[in-house]
């Protein structure tokens, strides 16, 4: 193979490789604004490529970065609360309102507040750039943002668990080629286990 043919082949291979446009490694997960910055760059990059496979793959890459960033911020920030009474949940909601623009909400478990990812944020900011199946899934999962407290008596009901299973099973039937279908199947398995052992579950 002469040099010219080799160079043409190399160029073809480079062009054929999938391009994941946003480099999430450049964002500092210790920066409280890093999630916002990464989100804006994603939106700018895929403004004219909505609903494409590339947009979906880059969203999955964002989720990996997102998880790391939320965990990093949760370790850095200390929250205080006055008492575990009727005003407690209101205080938790106020914390969530403060951090939601930065892509996070507050969760309470085992006596401590900590930051978690927000399904509502993902739906608001990313669903317009993804396919219909993703939009439907993200919209359904926004309801999980409302469950701020996980301790003790704040248990999920049997009816809710059955509703979750029903949705995910129908989702798989409706979208058999969904990219993350294996994760959905595992979610169904987990909820069925929870239902079997109910009420010995805490969310």
Give CA torsion, residues 199, 110, 75, 38, to 10 deg.
Answer: 30
Q: What is the pLDDT of residue 147?
A: 75
Q: What is the pLDDT of residue 91?
A: 76
Calculate Rg over the CA atoms of the chain. Answer: 21
Is the peptide bond preceding residue 199 cis, with omega within 30 degrees of 0? Answer: yes
Q: What is the pLDDT of residue 95?
A: 82
- The span from the CA of 158 to the CA of 199, in Å, is 8
Q: What is the pLDDT of residue 23?
A: 96
State the 10-residue block means of pLDDT for the chain, 203 residues long. Answer: 58 49 95 97 97 96 97 82 62 84 86 87 98 98 81 70 97 97 96 85 54
Q: What is the pLDDT of residue 104?
A: 95
Q: What is the pLDDT of residue 17?
A: 43
List, in sequence order, every residue forming a beta bridge with 106; answer none if it has no partner.
Answer: 115
- The span from the CA of 160 to the CA of 195, in Å, is 10
For residue 35, what are the contacts with CB-CB under 8 A and spacing of at least 6? Answer: 66, 69, 70, 102, 103, 104
Q: What is the pLDDT of residue 185?
A: 97
Contacts within 8 Å (CB) and 24+ apart, 170-177? 171/133, 171/136, 171/137, 171/140, 174/133, 175/133
């Amino acid at each position: 193979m002469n040099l010219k043919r080799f160079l043409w082949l190399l160029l073809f291979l480079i062009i054929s490789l999938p391009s994941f446009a946003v480099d999430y490694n450049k964002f500092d997960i210790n920066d409280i604004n890093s999630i916002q910055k990464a989100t804006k760059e994603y939106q700018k990059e895929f403004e004219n490529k909505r609903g494409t496979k590339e947009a979906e793959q880059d969203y999955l890459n964002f989720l990996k970065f997102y998880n790391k960033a939320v965990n990093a911020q949760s370790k850095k920030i200390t929250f205080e609360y006055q008492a575990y009474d009727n005003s407690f949940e209101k205080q938790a909601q106020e914390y969530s309102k403060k951090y939601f623009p930065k892509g996070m909400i507050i969760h309470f478990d085992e006596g401590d507040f900590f930051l978690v990812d927000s399904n509502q944020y993902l739906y608001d900011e990313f669903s317009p750039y993804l396919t219909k199946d993703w939009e439907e899934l993200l919209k359904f999962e926004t309801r999980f943002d409302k469950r701020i407290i996980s301790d003790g008596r704040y248990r999920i009901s049997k009816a809710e668990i059955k509703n979750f299973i029903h949705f995910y099973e129908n989702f798989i039937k409706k979208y058999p080629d969904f990219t993350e279908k294996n994760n959905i199947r595992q979610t169904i398995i987990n909820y069925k286990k929870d239902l079997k052992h109910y009420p010995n579950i805490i969310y």
